[in-house]
Chains A and B, each alone.
Chain A
Amino acid sequence: MSRTSFHTLEEALDDEHYPEVDLALRRGRHIGRDDGTMYEYLVDAQALLEEFYRRFGCELIQQSDGYFYLLPSGDRLGRRQLSAGEMLVGQMLALLYLDPASLQQGGTVSREAPLERLSALLSTDTLVRTIAPRNVRKGKYDERIAAEAVRTKVGDALRRLADLGFVDLLDDTRLRLRPALMRFAEPVRGLGEPGAALERLVRVGEVALDEGEPASEEDSNLDEEPTP
């Protein structure tokens, strides 16, 4: 069991939770209250670990919503930016998290729910061009194949967001929403202009504005030729 507080870094690193917490943070996982003793350990060791990770060029961030994550600010520790598909799915999940209707099931929703929200909010064309751009050839795409690709990509995005601690995949049909989803709402949480909030977030290294190179595994299943 973790003690209530640590006096030295050595004590903190000597704790049984450290290896698991450290690996999870370095892999981009958001550790929240739902993670039980891992979260408690971070609360206890926060002051010491903030200094410790700063030496690796990272910030150990604690948000008021009740979760921790590691934010690399230099090149010492690898970092990646989420894909457009992950961002859209993440925002839909954040919307579901805010929706009181999901409270009835204690914050669990079906895996189809984010896609349902997305299709209600954005046109099919925007969805296909954003989430499955490889299916668009010379500005055209086969609707059936593109829809299949969008569904696959949303499923992939959910798995990656689960790895990062934004949701818990409960079974084949349901997932639990976690407070870390509120990161997707950061630009609009204040009452100010979203653009200004976004600039601030870029400045502190929370977000990037340019779409980076897509992750290699993301592209592996996108080469299905559309029918002419």
Chain B
Amino acid sequence: MTEAPPPKEPNRVIASLARDQVNLDLKTVDLCFLAGLYLRADKAALASFEEDVLIDMFEQICDVVEPGADNPRKRATHAIQRLREQRMLARVDGAGIVRTGDYALTTLAAAVIKYFLTDEALTRESLTLLTATLSAQLAEVLAAAKRSEDTDSWRSKVSGPLRVTVSELVSGIERRQRGLDAQQEEVQGEIAKLLQSDWFSAVDRCQLLLDTTTSTLNELNEILLRDTHHFVALLLEIQGLATEAENSEAEETVQRVIEHVDRIAAWGSARQQAWSEYYQYIHRYLRDVVRLDPDRALSQRLRDQAAAWPTFKFFLLVADASPIRLLRALEARVERPPVARPHTEREADPEWVEPENVHADIEALVTRAIDEGASTLAEVSTRVLPNMPESLHYVAVGRVADAVARLAQVHGEHERAWAPVLSRIEVEDWTVERKDVQ
């Protein structure tokens, strides 16, 4: 038995889909080709198709969809490649380039084609059958939950069936609900078309369509309301047992199924509400517009009226009572002081400060260092800098070099070596001689 897969976070799933740049681009001929393969596999119980069969099928489809198209064989090759890239067809043999391959429809292709081929709208019969099966299945799971004593049996007898069988059945109902949604949309389109083409003579047919759909929805909703209530009761009982057994995995699985069932029940009431609004609107339209204007003359007369606007003007009158005027409470006007800062003498008197002779002293210090026998720039700098504050050392070292160059004879190698001065400075060194020595 394997561990239940952790629930996927929507953000992660979406991010990974975006990262993989998934997309589907299926043309009519592609869908027809896939449908042809699907039906053939179904009829002949085929698990896979040889490449020649694929090409034959594509050519047949091409004859129907795009008769007269050039070079169908080449188009088949492109179509197969396109469908493989989109994970609709998978090569299932391992022969590589040794021989032509065998191909099978993927689950993605099967799902897409099923959507177009199967008529899975919810009907009273299908819903009753599904809910009865689901009810029996849940009763079995409940009985198993009562018997389960260890983690393994909870997993195999409760969580597993809930995750697979029950979820499949609930998804089956949901899928058929979507089918019924599509049917309703078709009915709405059909009513509009009927009135567009037949106007007054279409009233009875429209009424029939409305009534049939309404009664179908009512029946389905009744079944859903009754049965979902029963399902939730059973599921809550299973969840209670899981809580007692401290089996969090089963608890979470039951919770997910309960949410799924709630969604199904919510669908019923939401659709009934929406349909009720639509029904009322159409009913009023049939009564107030179509029946009162059996020749459909009003639209034309209204169009003529609007088209003649500059010469046939009129203006509807409507009530327009002015709103009650609320007077504001009396309040003294507040004088806001102008933005200002206090007057003060901002010109400060000059002060006596100590003279700054540091830089002026450099020449004297350099002369003394040279006189005392310093023979390199680094040596002169090392003697001069300690007489100054540390914050000025970096600036002063340049002035020392300048003074040395002016006051003494200096020599530099082509590749001048770096020599340390105190702890934090290095200079490119010169040799220094007193000028009077020469």
Query: Footprint of B on A, CB under 8 Å?
Result: 25-28, 33, 58, 64-66, 69-72, 77-84, 87-88, 90-92, 94-95, 97-107, 121-122, 126, 129-130, 164, 179, 182-185, 187-189, 191, 194, 198, 201-202, 205-212
Contacts of A101 in B (CB 8 A): 192, 196
Residues of A contacting B315 in the complex (Cβ-Cβ under 8 angstroms): 81-84, 87, 207-212
Smallest CB separation, A160 vs chain B (Å) = 10
* Contact (Cβ within 8 A) A79 B309: no
User: Looking across the interface, which residue of chain A has its beta carbon closest to that of B282?
Assistant: A103
| In the assembled complex, B314 has its CB within 8 A of some CB on chain A | yes
Which residues of chain A are near B321, meaning CB under 8 Å? 26-27, 77-78
The 6 closest A-B pairs by CB, nearest first: A28-B318, A100-B195, A188-B301, A26-B321, A81-B315, A80-B320
Please name all residues of chain B whose beta carbon is closer than 8 Å to the beta carbon of A189 when the two chains form the complex: 298
With most chain A CB atoms within 10 A of its CB, the pick from B289, B302, B310, B316 is B316
| Contact present for B188 and A25 (CB under 8 Å) | no
Q: How far is it, in angstroms, between the C-alpha of A58 and the C-alpha of B303 when the chains are bound?
A: 31
CB contacts (< 8 Å) of B288 on chain A: these are 64-66, 179, 182
Q: A91-B302, A101-B196, A104-B192 are in contact. Are A208 and B317 (CB under 8 A)?
A: yes
Known A28-B318, A100-B196, A106-B282; 19 more pairs at CB < 8 Å: A27-B323, A65-B288, A66-B284, A66-B288, A71-B318, A72-B319, A77-B321, A79-B320, A82-B315, A92-B306, A97-B289, A103-B191, A106-B281, A179-B284, A188-B302, A188-B304, A202-B314, A207-B315, A207-B316
Kindly state the separation between the CA atoms of A209 and B317 in the bound complex, as whole angstroms.
10
Closest CB in chain A relative to B302 CB, distance in Å: 5
Enumerate B276-295 residues with CB–CB distance to A below 8 Å. 277-278, 280-282, 284-285, 288-289
Contact A194:B319 (CB < 8 A) given known A88-B306, A94-B302, A189-B298: no
Per-residue contact bits, chain B 110-143, to A (CB 8 Å; 1 contact, 0 not): 0000000000000000000000000000000000
A178-B297 Cα distance, complex, nearest whole Å:
20
With a cutoff of 8 Å between Cβ atoms, the chain B residues found around residue A211 in the complex are 313, 315
**A100 and B307 alpha carbons, distance in the complex (Å):** 21
Whether B305 sits at the interface, judged by CB under 8 Å, is: yes
Q: Do B318 and A69 touch across chains, with their CB atoms under 8 A apart?
A: yes
Q: A26 to B319: give the CA distance in the assembly, Å.
A: 6
> Does any Cβ of A come within 8 Å of B94's Cβ?
no
Minimum distance in angstroms from A28 CB to a CB of chain B: 4
Interface residues of B in 48-103 (CB under 8 A from A): none
Q: What CA separation (Å) do A148 and B51 show in the bound complex?
A: 60
Do A79 and B306 have beta carbons less than 8 Å apart? Answer: no
Asked if A164 and B318 make an inter-chain contact with CB atoms under 8 angstroms apart, the answer reads yes
B299 at the interface (CB under 8 A from A): yes
Nearest A residue (CB) for B187 = A104
How distant is B277 from chain A, measured CB to nearest CB, in Å? 6
Contact, CB under 8 Å: A126 / B310:
yes
State whether A207 and B314 are in contact (beta carbons under 8 Å apart), knowing that A77-B319, A100-B196, A101-B196 are contacts in the complex.
yes
Instruction: Report whether A82 and B277 are in contact in the complex, using a CB–CB cutoff of 8 Å.
Output: no
CB distance from A140 to the nearest CB of B (A): 18
Most buried by B among A80, A102, A106, A208: A106
Check B313–A209 contact: CB distance below 8 A: yes
Instruction: State the Cβ distance, B74 to closest chain A Cβ, in Å.
Output: 43
Contact in complex: A98, B318 (CB < 8 Å): no
With a cutoff of 8 Å between Cβ atoms, the chain B residues found around residue A198 in the complex are 312, 314
The answer, yes or no, to whether B10 is at the interface (CB within 8 Å) is no
The interface residues of chain A lying within 8 Å CB-to-CB of B307 are 121-122
Whether the Cβ atoms of B303 and A121 lie closer than 8 Å is yes
